[in-house]
Amino acid sequence: MHHPQGQGPADASRWMVVLLGFLTLAFAFTVRGSLSLAMPAWQAEFGWSRSAISGIAAVALLVMATVAPFAGHLVDRHGSRLLLVAGLGAIGIGVGMVILARPGASAWLLPVGFAAVAAIGFGTIAQHVIAAAIAQRFDRHRGLATGIGTAGSTAGQLLLMPVLAWLMQAGQWRSAFWLLAAGCFALIPFAWFMLREAGPQAATNVRSTASHADARATSLGGNLGLILRSPVFHAIFWSYAICGFTTSGVIETHLMPYAAICGFGPVPSATAYGVLSGLNLVGMIAAGWLSDRMHRPRLLAIIYVVRAVSFLLLMFVADNYPLLIVFAILFGLVDYSTVPVTASYIASRLGLKVLGLSMGLLSAGHAIGGAAGAWAGGAFFDWSGNYGVLWGLSTTMAIAAAALVVGLKDEGRRMLMGAGLSPRLSVRAEDA
C-alpha cells in the first residue's frame, strides 16, 4: 500500500525517527566497540588472557543473537518506542556494572554487566531494529533514510573513540565508561517523547487490511515459517553471518589489539579506528543511496569483494602506519554498508509485514558469526602468537559471502522504480 509522503508534520516525524535511530546507535555501538579499546587495560588490571576477554565479546554477541529475532518481531507488532527505551536502560545499567567491577570478589560484574545486561541492550538498540523502524515509514528513498539512520553505528565511534582512547591512555578507563553510561541514560526521555505512536504506520495498515488467512500468519511462528521457506532469505542469512564474522567479530574485537602489537599506541590506534568509523558513515549513506538505484545483490557482492581485498592489505601492515590508514579507509567504506542494502532488499523481497523479524533473524546470524570471529581471533592469537591466520581466513570468507549473493534476482527494485510504490506486504517464497 502506498502512503503519500509530502512535506508536513508526518514527513518531519519520519525524519525525526531517522535522527533518533542515528543517536541511539551511536552510543550502543560505541559501548560495543569500547571492549576492544579497553582490552589491554583489563588484561593488566584483572590478569585475564586475551582469549578470555575475547570470550566476553563472543558471549555478548551470542546474547544479542538470542535477543535479535524477538526484538525484530516486537518492532513489527508494537513499534520501536519501548524497545529503544528498554535497550538504552539495559546498556546504561550494564556499563555501570562494568565500572563497579574490581579485581577479586566483584570481578564478575564486568563479564555479567557487559556480556549479559548490556548485551540485551545491544540486541534491541541494533541496526535491524532501527532499519525496520525506518523502512516501515518510508516508501521512496527507503535506502537513503535507512543508510542515514543506521550510520549512527559508526558516527558515535568516530566522535567518541578518540576521547575514550585519551582517557584510557591516562589510566582512566572507568571515566570513559561513565561517559558512555551517561549518554545512554540521557537519550531515554528523548526516545520516549519522540516515538509517541503505538506502532509503525506500515504495520498498522497491514493489520487493518489483512485477510483472515493473513491474520493467522501474524504470530511469531507463522511469520517465521514463511520467512524460512524463502531461498532468498537463506542466501542472505549465510552471507550476513559471514559479514558478522569479518566485522563485529574480527575487526571490532581485534583491530586495535593488532595495532598495539604493530607498535602503535592507543591514540594512533584509535585514530585509525576513527578513520574507519568516519568512512563507515560515508559508506553506509552511499550504499543506501546506491540501493535505491542499482541491483542490490550485485552491490552486496561488490562490498564483500572489497572487504576481502582490505584483509589482504592488513596482512602487510607490520609497523607501517600509513598502510593501516589505507586499510581503515578501504574497510571503512564497506564495513557496515551491507545494512541499508540488505534492509531495502529484504523489504521488497519478503515484505514490510515481517521486515523486523527478518532483519532480527539476520542480525542473529550476524551476531553468531561475530561471536565466532571474536573467539577465533583470540584462539588463533594464543595458538600462533599473531593474527596472520585470522586475516587469511577472513579474506576467504568474504569471497564466499560474495558468491552467495551475486546470483540473486532483484525484481523488487524494478517495481519500486517503475511504480513508486511499496512492495507487496507479504512473504514470497521465490526461487533465487
pLDDT digit string, tens, across residues 148-179: 887 887 777 677 777 887 888 787 889 889 98
CB 343 within 8 A of CB 355: yes
Residue 29 C-alpha cell reads as: 555501538
The sign of the torsion formed by the CA atoms of 60, 252, 122, 48 equals positive
Domains in the chain with CATH codes: 11-194+219-419 (1.20.1250.20)
Question: Residue 162 and residue 203: Cα distance in Å, rounded?
Answer: 40
Neighbours of 417 (CB within 10 A): 11
Say if pTM beats, i.e. exceeds, 0.95. Answer: no
Radius of gyration of the chain (CA): 21
pLDDT digit string, tens, across residues 383-411: 887 888 889 999 999 999 999 999 998 87
Residue with cell 521457506: 229
More confident site: 235 or 248: 235
Task: Give percent of the chain above pLDDT 70.
Answer: 86
pLDDT digit string, tens, across residues 83-124: 889 999 999 999 999 999 998 888 999 999 999 999 999 988
Question: Residue 342 and residue 361: Cα distance in Å, rounded?
Answer: 12
Which among 282, 249, 222, 218 has a CA at the least distance from the CA of 373?
A: 249
Question: Residue 302 and residue 285: Cα distance in Å, rounded?
Answer: 16
pLDDT digit string, tens, across residues 5-29: 444 445 667 777 888 888 888 888 8
pLDDT at 329 over 90: yes
* DSSP code, position 370: H
pLDDT at 203 over 70: no
